[in-house]
Amino acid sequence: MPRTLNHSYPELVEKAQKLFWVKGYKSVSPEELAEHLEVSKSTIYNKYTRDMLFMDSLKGYVVDLSDPILEQVRNSDKGIEAFRDFFYMIVDGLLEKSFPKSCFMVNTVVELRNEKEQITELYERYFGNMRKTHRTVLETAIKKGEIKYPERIEEYTECMVGVLFSLSILYKVKSREELRTYVDEQISLLV
């Protein structure tokens, strides 16, 4: 008799996300995935495939986690301090492990590069939003008169996005204090 499914699909995706986020895509075999999700191997081979669960885990990360945080950052009226709050929040989250690991989306790109078109499309959406957020924060800061050279906004946007992503490696070897100083020094280049 086939094993009945104890979980709804969204629940399975949520569970799968935890595994993929930590281990990446290629390291998780269909067998390991089945075991982790407590479903039969045939469920993974025939019904909810590894590809499908991975894609939906990643979409969930972008839509339910990354997008809302970025929206909050964009809506802040704090200007330059919004960067500090945001970057500190990321540093704390990484060091306290409230995120299982650094950005799921960026780690996926480092692992899979352009191999899967669907992922590249999702990344473009994610990255566009990331850029827009940093730019919006800079525009607010400019309105508040905090930025010394407003005409350099494009360059600043690029650099601040870069700082965020450099944290995704630096947190692995640096202390909270070092990371905060790093963030502070980068922000001070804007003013």
Partner 1 sequence: MRYKEFNSNKVLETCINLFWNTSFGGCSVKEIVTETGVNRFSLYDEWEHKEGILLASIDLYQQRYSQEKFKILESEGDLREVLTKFYMSFMIDEKTHPSGCYIIRIATELADNNIDVKNKLDRYLNELEHQFKTFISNYSESNKNIDYLAKHLTGLFCSLTTFCVIHSFEERKSLVNSGISMLLKNSTHHATHA
Residues lying near partner 1 in the complex (CB under 8 A): 22-29, 101-102, 106-107, 109-111, 113-114, 120, 123, 127, 154-156, 158-159, 161-166, 168-170, 172-173, 182, 185-186, 189
Q: Give 13 or 28: the residue with its C-beta nearer to partner 1.
A: 28
Q: How far is the CB of 24 from partner 1 (least distance, A)?
A: 5
Closest CA to 60 of 124, 122, 147: 122
Q: Give 38 or 158: the residue with its C-beta nearer to partner 1.
A: 158
Q: How far is the CB of 157 from partner 1 (least distance, A)?
A: 9
> Which residue has tokens 């982790």?
36
Q: How far is the CB of 5 from partner 1 (least distance, A)?
A: 26
- Rounded CA-CA distance 159/2 in Å is 54
Q: How far is the CB of 174 from partner 1 (least distance, A)?
A: 9
Q: Where are the alpha helices (DSSP H) in the chain?
A: 9-23, 30-37, 41-42, 50-60, 67-75, 80-95, 104-112, 117-143, 153-170, 176-188
